[in-house]
């Protein structure tokens, strides 16, 4: 089917929403649409629509806007936690491989026996990123050692490559790297790679400012064995598919990576600030606060 809908002005977008039953001050709604794309807002509007695209009676835009602001603050908090975890992962990968294999060993296929992509293409993509990067440390290395090395040592390269490539290193190298990281962070090593994959997925959502609060996760993390880690027993399949499990994972990592961090309390404070948000839609199970305080 060919798409034939014409582009609408901000005024037409506002009028359409009001015609469909959204309670809003027209001029204020137009100003919001000028700053936030209609399509972006649609993810927050959708739960309040019926099958005919009309809004449920009494749907006020001010309530929708609160959800939008809550989601923005939640993304910033989650992104902050993932940044700390990511920096730790980069540091550990560089240190472990440099000391066990050598500074330039990551350019050798032999050390990645579990690699699930074409090695030459992967290294070529890292090389392209290295050539594009304008960080001072990269430029210094290239100027001084570029005649002998096409790529920098791994402790430089991990700061240039994407988090997805860092995760690939953990998945492709032998299990000693994952086990050491798991030991340092007190995370079950059986779930570590799965957690990294989920965090990388969420990181990309946050980086693109996409909706997070009631999103169904398409990359679901594995859960620790509840017989050994009994507190995880409350995390059911629904929780595992929503943002709650990511909050739990971040909290679990930060307990050792940043033990003095107030991140967990900032999550609690955000939920207090927006009591209208239904945390069940975020996968929060019964007893969630006690659980987060324990892990």
Whether 262 and 198 map to the same domain: the answer is yes
Q: What are the start-end ranges of the H helices in the chain?
A: 10-19, 26-35, 38-45, 61-100, 119-132, 136-145, 154-157, 163-172, 176-185, 189-207, 237-240, 243-257, 263-273, 288-294
Give 99's contacts (C-beta < 8 A, 6+ positions apart).
Answer: none
Count of domains forming the chain: 2
Q: Does a structural domain hold residue 3?
A: no
Give 162's contacts (C-beta < 8 A, 6+ positions apart).
Answer: 129
Q: Which of 38, 59, 80 is the last residue of a domain?
A: 59
Whether 74 and 55 map to the same domain: the answer is no
Give 208's contacts (C-beta < 8 A, 6+ positions apart).
Answer: none
3-state secondary structure of 60: strand
115-172 confidence digits (pLDDT tens): 999 999 999 999 998 888 887 777 888 888 888 888 999 999 999 999 999 999 999 9
pTM: 0.93
Q: How many CA atoms lie within 13 A of 126 on its CB side?
A: 25
Whether 54 and 129 map to the same domain: the answer is no
Whether 89 and 124 map to the same domain: the answer is yes
3-state secondary structure of 235: coil
DSSP state letters, 210-227: ---TTPPPSSPPP---TT
Q: Which residues of the chain have pLDDT under 70?
A: none
Whether 55 and 172 map to the same domain: the answer is no
Give the residues across from 49 on adjacent strands.
55
71-95 confidence digits (pLDDT tens): 999 999 999 999 999 999 999 999 9
Domain enclosing residue 48, as ranges: 10-59
């Amino acid at each position: 089917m060919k798409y034939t809908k014409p582009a609408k002005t901000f005024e037409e977008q506002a009028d359409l929403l009001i015609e469909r039953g959204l309670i809003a001050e027209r001029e204020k709604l137009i100003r919001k649409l000028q700053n936030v794309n209609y399509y972006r807002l649609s993810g927050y509007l959708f739960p309040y629509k019926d099958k005919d695209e009309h809004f449920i009676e009494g749907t006020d835009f001010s309530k929708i806007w609160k959800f939008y602001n809550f989601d923005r603050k939640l993304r910033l908090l989650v992104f902050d936690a993932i940044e700390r975890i990511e920096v730790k992962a980069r540091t550990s990968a560089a240190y472990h491989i440099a000391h066990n294999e050598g500074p330039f060993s990551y350019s050798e296929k032999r050390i990645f026996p579990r690699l699930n992509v074409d090695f030459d293409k992967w290294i070529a993509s890292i090389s392209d990123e290295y050539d594009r990067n304008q960080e001072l440390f990269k430029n210094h290395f290239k100027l001084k050692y570029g005649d002998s090395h096409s790529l920098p040592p791994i402790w430089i390269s991990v700061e240039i490559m994407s988090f997805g490539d860092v995760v690939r290193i953990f998945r492709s190298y032998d299990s000693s790297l994952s086990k050491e990281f798991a030991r340092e962070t007190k995370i079950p090593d059986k779930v570590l790679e799965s957690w990294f994959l989920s965090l990388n997925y969420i990181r990309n959502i946050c980086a693109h400012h996409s909706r997070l609060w009631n999103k169904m996760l398409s990359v679901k993390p594995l859960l620790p064995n509840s017989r050994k880690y009994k507190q995880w027993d409350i995390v059911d399949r629904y929780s595992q598919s929503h943002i709650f499990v990511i909050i739990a994972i971040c909290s679990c990592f930060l307990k050792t990576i940043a033990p003095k961090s107030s991140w967990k309390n900032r999550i609690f404070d955000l939920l207090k600030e927006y009591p209208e948000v239904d945390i069940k839609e975020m996968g929060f199970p019964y007893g969630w606060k006690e659980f987060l305080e324990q892990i």
